[in-house]
């Protein structure tokens, strides 16, 4: 069967380091065209992927069977809606939209047209998170009482760009960026949220959007999630600390897949998602614990799921309504931080 021709809207960090190499490595998908006005990037996608570099998203409509939206956050909804209007299934990088209402409208449009819509929540396939889910599912932690999760960096000098200088209209800042992953993982692990509390700050000069944020969630089942995202963490905390009634799991260090993608390692190569033994997490109690092998990271599984959904009509790898749920929590967190209150969700 012929490959599904993919059009990629955007070739910044997300497009160049995540989507393009993952699409290229997925059987049944072929990167046909990439929207970028940069001549050097146009030459790069032609050389690396045999794809056409085009200056406008409208040039994807006649070339592609599937559109991937990896452009700035403010354009996610408009670009996805335009592709759906052309009868094309769509992958949208996180966050799906700026608000839950915008996200619901996209979901409604996709259902109305009978088209696949999914969201690139790739961190569901981080090896460390897959390990947490396995341990929780096997009962190795007992009942999960508290889920602590961090994406922390030490970037005292701002990099610049819309993610740091933009406002709500840009969906800028760490709550929308890293928080989209942290909140999504918490919902996947522990289910719906009933209460949201947030502390959000701008710590660095020249930055307009949040760069140091904490979110506390109370889940319907009684467990709590404590989520940190920061660009000013000079010493990094554990990536995960999961406290259960029978024991705890602690894991340091980030999933290896992003580092390898940025280094140009092919996603399908041997050992691509494998964590080094020295970085494995520890399961147990203070006096009785053992190292636990990290599950292999599997970002390719997302695009394998996309290929199957487009070709065979199976469920998409990420239900877009789950991304709307995460946006509901993010909006509540923004309100909590602004008004210094606990926000109750129905």
Q: For 53-90, write each residue's pLDDT tens digit.
A: 999 999 999 999 999 999 999 999 999 999 999 999 99
Q: Among residues of the chain, what percentage have pLDDT more than 90?
A: 97
Q: Is residue 319 part of a domain?
A: no
Q: Is residue 284 part of a domain?
A: yes
What is the rounded CA–CA span in Å between residue 108 and residue 102?
10
Per residue in 104-128, pLDDT (tens digit) is: 999 999 999 999 999 999 999 999 9
Same domain, 58 and 16: yes
Q: Is residue 320 part of a domain?
A: no
Same domain, 127 and 113: no
Q: Which two tokens stand for residue 56?
A: 């406008």
Same domain, 205 and 340: yes
Domain that holds residue 34: 4-120
Same domain, 143 and 115: no
Q: How confident is the model at residue 138 (pLDDT cuts 50, 70, 90)?
A: very high
Q: Is residue 211 part of a domain?
A: yes
Q: Is residue 317 part of a domain?
A: no
pLDDT of residue 116: 98
Same domain, 144 and 276: yes
Same domain, 104 and 187: no
HSE of 139, CA atoms in CB hemisphere, 13 A: 0
Same domain, 62 and 146: no
Per residue in 191-238, pLDDT (tens digit) is: 999 999 999 999 999 999 999 999 999 999 999 999 999 999 999 999
For residue 29, the domain's CATH number is 3.40.50.720
* Domain stops at, among 120, 151, 176: 120
Same domain, 92 and 204: no
What is the rounded CA–CA span in Å between residue 263 and residue 257?
10
Same domain, 35 and 176: no
Task: Lowest mean pLDDT of 141-145, 157-161, 224-228, name the range.
Answer: 157-161
Task: Spell out the residues 6+ positions from residue 339 whose beta carbon is closer than 8 angstroms to its own.
Answer: none
pLDDT of residue 346: 80
Same domain, 251 and 268: yes
Same domain, 169 and 243: yes
Same domain, 203 and 282: yes
**Secondary structure of 157-171 as H, E, C letters:** CCCCCHHHHCCHHHC
* Domain stops at, among 104, 120, 136: 120
Q: What is the mean pLDDT of residues 326-331?
A: 98
Q: What is the mean pLDDT of residues 258-285?
A: 96
Mean pLDDT of the chain: 97
Task: Spell out the residues 6+ positions from residue 71 whose beta carbon is closer than 8 angstroms to its own.
Answer: 9, 10, 12, 35, 57, 79
Q: Is residue 23 part of a domain?
A: yes
CA-nearest of 238, 254, 233 to 156 is 233
Asked whether the predicted pLDDT for residue 1 surpasses 80, the reply is no
Q: Is residue 129 part of a domain?
A: yes
Q: How confident is the model at residue 246 (pLDDT cuts 50, 70, 90)?
A: very high
Place of tokens 């045999």: 50
Q: How confident is the model at residue 140 (pLDDT cuts 50, 70, 90)?
A: confident
Asked whether the predicted pLDDT for residue 30 surpasses 90, the reply is yes
Structural domains in the chain (count): 2
Q: How confident is the model at residue 173 (pLDDT cuts 50, 70, 90)?
A: very high
Angle at the Cα of 256 from the Cα atoms of 207 and 71, rounded to 5 degrees? 45
For residue 201, the domain's CATH number is 3.30.360.10
* Domain stops at, among 78, 98, 120: 120
Q: Is residue 308 part of a domain?
A: no
């Amino acid at each position: 069967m012929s490959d599904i021709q993919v059009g990629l809207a955007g070739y910044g960090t997300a497009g160049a380091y995540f989507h393009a190499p993952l699409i290229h490595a997925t059987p049944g998908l072929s990167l046909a065209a990439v929207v970028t006005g940069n001549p050097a990037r146009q030459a790069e996608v032609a050389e690396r992927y045999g794809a056409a570099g085009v200056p406008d998203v409208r040039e994807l409509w006649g070339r592609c069977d599937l559109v991937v939206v990896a452009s700035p956050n403010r354009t996610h909804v408009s670009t996805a809606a335009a592709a759906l209007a052309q009868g094309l299934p769509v992958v949208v990088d996180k966050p799906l939209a700026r608000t839950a209402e915008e996200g619901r409208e996209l979901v409604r449009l996709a259902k109305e047209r009978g088209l696949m819509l999914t969201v690139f929540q790739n961190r569901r396939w981080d090896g460390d998170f897959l390990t947490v889910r396995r341990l929780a599912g096997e009962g190795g932690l007992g009942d999960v009482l508290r889920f602590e999760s961090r994406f922390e960096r030490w970037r005292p000098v701002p990099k610049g760009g819309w993610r740091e200088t933009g406002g709500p209209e840009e969906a800028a800042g760490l709550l929308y960026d890293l928080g989209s992953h942290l909140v999504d993982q918490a919902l996947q692990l522990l289910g719906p949220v009933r209460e949201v509390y947030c502390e959000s700050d701008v710590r660095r000069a020249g930055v307009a959007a949040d760069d140091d944020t904490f979110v506390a969630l109370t889940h319907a089942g009684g467990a709590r999630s404590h989520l940190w995202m920061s660009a000013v963490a000079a010493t990094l905390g554990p990536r995960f600390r999961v406290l259960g009634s029978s024991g705890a799991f602690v894991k340091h260090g980030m999933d290896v897949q992003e580092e390898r993608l940025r280094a140009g390692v092919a996603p399908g190569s041997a050992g691509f998602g494998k964590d080094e033994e020295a970085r494995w997490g520890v399961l147990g109690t203070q006096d009785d614990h053992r190292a636990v092998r990290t599950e292999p990271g599997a970002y390719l599984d997302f695009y394998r799921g996309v290929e199957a959904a487009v070709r065979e009509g199976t469920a998409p790898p990420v239900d877009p309504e789950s991304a709307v749920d995460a946006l509901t929590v993010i909006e509540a967190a923004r309100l909590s931080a602004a008004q210094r209150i606990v926000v109750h969700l129905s």
